[in-house]
Structure 1
Amino acid sequence: MTTASVSGSRERELWRRLGEVNDPELDEPITEMGFVERAEVAGDGGVEVDFRLPTYWCSPNFAFLMLDGVRKVLDRLSWSPVYRVTLHDHMFAEEVNSGMEAGKSFGDIFGELAGDLDLGTLRETFAMKAFKRRQEAVLLSLRQCGLPDQEILGMDLVAYDRARFRMEETAKQKARYRAALLERFPARRASDPVFLTWEGQKIPVSALGAHLAELRGVRINMEFNGALCRGLKHTRYKELDVVDGEPTLVDFIMDRVPVEPAPNI
């Protein structure tokens, strides 16, 4: 294999791995959110990743969770490179970068500032939201395909894997829900129901409407946060001169308020 093809193969693997890391609050890949500003493989195989978040004050626990995810996927690269991940333009960038490089935990990096925050509990909360959002997407799509609720809720993994969706986004969520289901309930058998509550309970047909209403609330909240996040990032990094510091939330909102044309006098 030529040097160029090796480099190209490694670049593709690098971006594929980075795409496996999700924003924990939004359940969307950090690559699609635009948080990975640069990811390159050097001639010697080393990897450099530059990471930026929508605002200077983004929650440091969110930043740590994403960067920790980046660190884990880089550890799984096939050629085991030396790598460096750098967080830019964040209020705790220096602490996070030095701590991550040293392999420190969130508590080690922030000490007393971390307080009683339990990242394990936080991870589980985000995993629950992702589980519900993915499940809703698949349930609604199966309904749109004309399947009766009883058949949908009776699906096992075999029937689920046979189901086909025309929309690419739905097909992606189908695979993502399957992954979330097996991560949440790793001991499931192929004959067990696919659609369960987060607590592992079967969903009665009579309760599906109320269950979907709950899932819808989770999705709307995540979609709002995602839109706000993208807007803030766009406003922060778009090419314009910023007077007296970085754009604020007010700048973001005002940038999207339609301006009425001046009346002709």
Structure 2
Amino acid sequence: MNALHQHDRRTNEVWERLALVTDPELDEPVTELGFVERVTVDHVDGVDIVFRLPTYWCSANFAFLMADDMRRAVSSLAWVREARPQLRDHMVAEEINRGVREGRSFGEALKDFASGGSLDDLREKFRRKAFERRQEVMILALRGLGYEDPAICRMSLSAFDAINFDSEEVARQKPRYRELLVERRLADLPADPAFVTYDGAPIKRHEMASYLQRLRGVRINMEFNSSLCRGLLAVRYLELDADRAEQTPAPCGGCGSGCAVRSSGSPAMNKHSAALA
């Protein structure tokens, strides 16, 4: 394999790992949200990841979480010598970049912004929200297929695995929901129930309506925040990205998603920015 092809392959691998990193509040990949601006792989297998957020004042702890998750995700590639996330255009970008680069905790890196010195509680809070949002998608999809609430409440993991969904969004969320089930050890064996609360309690059929009402509130809040973030990001960077897109033709014809920026890290206008213009 020649050096150019290997470089392209490794750049694609980095983007694939970054696609696994989500905004902790929105439970959407940072790549789809348009946060990642550029990826560069150097000649000694160091990786620079330049990213930006919708506003200068975005929460410092959210920003730190994303930067640290990007570092961890990309560092998991065997060939990566060092992953260097670089947040730009943010009120504490310098502190976050230095803290993540030096392996500091959030409390050490930003003493003025950390109350307890750890982000574990925050991670757990948003992991719960992500679980509940994904679970609601699956329950509503099963209802749409004709499953009644008692059948959903007693559905086993193996039965859930066997169901195919036509909806692209539901098919996307199915493995993501299952991943959190297993990660939290809520279900692992084929006979384990596929639908329980985040705390592991069974969902009773007569409580399903009120349970779904609460999950709906979680989803609406996350969707509102997602739309707001996309809009703010589009307004903040639309003009700059449009100029860059004109100067750097997108290799796939201008979709602006991953493939348009993967060639060597040259940025192109994000598809969400274009849609919101």
Structure-2-length-normalised TM-score: 0.83
1:10 counterpart = 2:15: no
Q: 1:211 maps to which residue?
A: 211
- Which amino acid in 2 is paired with 1:191? A
Contact 2:105–2:117 (8 Å) recurs in 1: no
Q: Which has the larger radius of gyration?
A: 1
Contact 2:75–2:82 (8 Å) recurs in 1: no
Q: 1:65 maps to which residue?
A: 65
Q: Percent identity?
A: 50
Cα RMSD (Å): 1.6
Q: 1:137 maps to which residue?
A: 137
Distance in 2 between the 1:189 and 1:48 partners? 40
**Tell me, what secondary structure is at the counterpart of 2:110?**
helix
Q: 2:164 maps to which residue?
A: 164
Structure 1: tracts of 5 or more residues without a match: 241-255, 257-265
Structure-1-length-normalised TM-score: 0.86
Contact 2:24–2:123 (8 Å) recurs in 1: yes
Moved more, 11-20 or 146-155: 146-155
Distance in 1 between the 2:58 and 2:113 partners? 15
Deviation, structure 1 residue 187: 6.5
Distance in 2 between the 1:212 and 1:82 partners? 44
- Which amino acid in 2 is paired with 1:193? P
Structure 2: tracts of 5 or more residues without a match: 241-275
Distance in 2 between the 1:31 and 1:113 partners? 26
Distance in 2 between the 1:11 and 1:228 partners? 30
Q: 2:33 maps to which residue?
A: 33
Matches within 5 A, 1:1-265: 1-116=1-116, 118-185=118-185, 188-239=188-239
- Which amino acid in 1 is paired with 2:161? D
Q: Quick one: structure 1 residues 205 and 172, their matched pair in 2 at CA, closer, same or farther if it must change by over 3 Å? A: same
Q: 1:262 maps to which residue?
A: none
Moved more, 5-14 or 191-200: 5-14
Distance in 2 between the 1:186 and 1:79 partners? 34
Distance in 2 between the 1:128 and 1:84 partners? 28
Deviation, structure 1 residue 151: 1.8
* Deviation string, structure 1 residues 149-207 (Cα, Å, up to 9, x no partner): 22222211111110100111101101100001111226742211010011111111111
Runs of 4+ off more than 3 Å: none
Moved more, 183-192 or 120-129: 183-192
State the aligned residue count.
Answer: 241
**Tell me, what secondary structure is at the counterpart of 1:233?**
helix
Distance in 2 between the 1:45 and 1:197 partners? 43
Moved more, 102-111 or 117-126: 117-126
- Which amino acid in 2 is paired with 1:206? H
Q: 2:253 maps to which residue?
A: none
Distance in 2 between the 1:230 and 1:79 partners? 33
